[in-house]
Chains A and B, each alone.
Chain A
Amino acid sequence: MLTYLRKRIISSGLPLLVVIVGVFALARMTGNPAALYLPLNATEAMREDFAVRNGLDQPIWVQMAQYFGGILRLDFGESMRTGESAGAMALRAFPATLQLAGTTMALAIVLAVIVGSAAALKPNGILDRFSSFLSMTAASIPDFWLAIVGIWVFAITLGWVPTSGVVGMAAWVLPVATLVMRPFGTLVQVVRGAMVSSLSEPYIKLARAKGATQYRVVGAHALRNAAAPGLTVAGDLTVGLVNGAVVVETIFGWPGIGKLMIDSILQRDFAVLQACVLLTAVAIFVLNILIDIGYALLDPRVRPSAGARKRRKARVEHRGQQNGPKAPTTPTTTGSAATAVLDA
């Protein structure tokens, strides 16, 4: 498992490195970083002063080294607006985004598994058609439109929930409801498709032949097999939520990383923007690792052969005991010794 994980970390770590270098290159390719960091009406003296202070007069490789050193210390420079550390600002905004994305995805997955499985039980039945219509609609509605209509109906006209902010449970309703639509709609289709194919597999017949209840057949045998494709798509959708909640966070004034990014762009707060981009990239990197681990947990065929190694080891010991010079043990005792090795 560790070897497998190491491989996955290396393979998804490379893109992360590309993003980090890309951010560095972009800041320099678009012209003098001083022009990016400083306000438009900055004087020549201010620019020179900035260049010296940030080491921009140094050779490019020194700048690169300083840049990487800064990342390691989570030092992305200071915000133009507040003078606060850009890294700290991004880190402070991040939990709000994660909470929103996490709540949304949890809701989307639970609903999609229920609706998608129910639809898969009778392909082309009434429920299937209804859920197909429902999920297509949910996946196609633009989130900004839904957000605005939601605010208008539920916050302004009915006054049930606040228009923006994070105070109280009610404030979560509209942002989550808006964000959940696309993941829900997409996942219903994926779960439904995976469940239809999984339910037609011979192992479902075998489970029924053992007298398993419908609940057991669907919930344990079919769903577990349908989970892997679901996880892949859910992972992608989560990535989308983590860096794509920009619109919804802005509309609802949600103090997450998406809103911080937009604010930084609008105010040319380049250091904060850079910190946000890097933090998001790291989050996606971690998420991908988690998806890989989840994948391996769900499907033993993807799992690396750690089990096989354990088994070989156990077998060798098993043989050793049988052939050993000591009094021959009965197969049962050697067997349980082997099991004990496995359990240890």
Chain B
Amino acid sequence: MMTEMLEPTAQSDPPTDTVLEVTGLDVDIRTPQGTVRVVSQVSFAARRGQTLALLGESGCGKSMTAKAIAGLLDPVASVAGGTAVLDGQDLNQMNPKQRRAVAGPGLGIVFQDALTALNPVYTIGTQLGEAFRIHRGASKKQAKAEAIDLMRRVGIPEPETRVNSYPHQFSGGMRQRILIAMAVALSPQLLIADEPTTALDVTVQAQIMLLLRKLRTEQQMAVVLITHDLAVVAEEADEVCVMYAGNVVEQGSVDKVFSHPTHPYTKGLLESVPTDAQRGEGLSSIPGSPPELTKIPAGCVYQDRCPLASAICRQERPLLRDTADGQRAACHFAEKVSAAKTDNDDANNVKEEIR
């Protein structure tokens, strides 16, 4: 992967391959205590045939970002600014009808919990075929045939029989396959996978990730993968956006970010991964917890937990800036972070360790 990145051909034409370009996205939530900004100035680009990971703890705004792009925000949340350009059109400027036209053929989304995401009272065939009925005006019979075809593509055994089954008659892994099948039904350019494996056990997780990778390659989709799992990012993603308290704190290619983190949060995350060298010692962790979104401090969002925090961090919020080739971080002391070696292990090896 590293060598590919360095090849000039691979780097010369990424702009034409950009499927989704998010710029300065802000999302607000209205609460009884007032409006809270839960996603702030998020920018990234997802490219055809590649996976971009949004990485962060629960509540960091990664899911909210995905929902904002997909137009599925809850009524209390709304996009407050920025653009999300899919195939030349700004999703944030679309009216509901245009949105519906894009939902399916333009972008598909895979939800986290497949049991609650599937409608319990309709058969899998009905739900899988629905996209074809909505967007292609397919007859019931055609829709069912398409559903069977989809089930076969995502590896559900005996699709001809199972097409008439209901969601509760499937296992968790199978349900997730069905959700994925629904998301890719109309061959969207962009697939958003919102923690697709969190609700599954480990062996099934691997199968699901394999399936996503296979479909990404087959259909040449851009994938936005939302996860809190460092191992999944290391394994699956080409690029990563590390999010903290609604802000992107570091982004860049996974290889670079994971081998040379330039933000203290990324570094802290990577150091908290257990490694062989630490055997017998306690696990390292980042002290403290993320700020409440109603009480995000002025200055750097990470100041309360950062070992490098100083006066400037409390006054001025660091902007994302280039910290290395193809890598950006929002830290006043990015150079210091990348220069420092970790105590117990070589940071270069962290990525390998995760794998």
Contacts and interface: CB of A to CB of B under 8 A. Distances in A.
Interface stretch (A19-27, A35-43, A231-239, A332-340): A332-340
Nearest to B75: A122
B182 A210 contact: yes
A5 B20 CA distance: 54
Contacts of A85: none
Interface stretch (B78-86, B111-119, B202-210, B296-304): B111-119
Interface of A: 201-203, 205-214, 216, 221, 224-225, 298-301, 307-308, 311, 314-315, 318, 335-336, 338-339, 342
A312 to B, nearest CB: 10
B83 to A, nearest CB: 21
A206 B118 contact: yes
Contacts of B96: 214
A225 B160 contact: no
Closest 5 CB pairs of A and B: A335-B160, A211-B103, A203-B119, A211-B100, A300-B166
A315 B161 CA distance: 8
A118 B128 CA distance: 28
Majority secondary structure of chain A interface residues (helix, strand, loop or mixed): helix
Nearest to A220: B122
Interface in B106-128: 108-109, 111, 113, 116-123
A307 B166 CA distance: 10
A216 B120 contact: no
A225 B127 CA distance: 14
A221 B185 CA distance: 19
A191 to B, nearest CB: 16
A122 to B, nearest CB: 8
11 contacts: A205-B117, A208-B103, A209-B70, A210-B104, A210-B134, A210-B185, A307-B165, A314-B161, A315-B158, A315-B161, A318-B161
Given A202-B111, A210-B182, A311 B161 contact: yes
B130 interface: yes
B319 interface: no
B168 A300 contact: yes
Interface size class of B (residues with CB under 8 A): 35 or more
Contacts of A205: 72, 111, 117
B158 A300 contact: no
Nearest to A312: B161
Nearest to A200: B74
B134 A212 contact: yes
Interface in B131-166: 131, 134-135, 148, 158-166
B135 A211 contact: yes
Given A205-B72, A301-B168, A311-B165, A210 B160 contact: no
A224 B120 CA distance: 10
A155 to B, nearest CB: 45
Given A202-B116, A311-B165, A318-B158, A212 B130 contact: yes
A335 B151 CA distance: 13
A202 B179 CA distance: 12
A83 to B, nearest CB: 54
A225 B130 contact: no
B103 A209 contact: yes
B121 A300 contact: yes
Contacts of B161: 311, 314-315, 318, 335, 338-339, 342
B269 interface: no
A301 B104 contact: no
B67 to A, nearest CB: 8
B169 interface: yes
Contact of B108 (A209, A221, A315, A339): A209
Nearest to B159: A335
B119 A338 contact: no
A294 to B, nearest CB: 13
A318 B157 CA distance: 12
Contacts of A212: 100, 130, 134
Looking at B120, B165, B168, the one whose CB has the most chain A CB atoms below 10 A away is B120
A206 B108 CA distance: 10
A80 to B, nearest CB: 53
B102 A211 contact: yes
A211 B72 contact: no
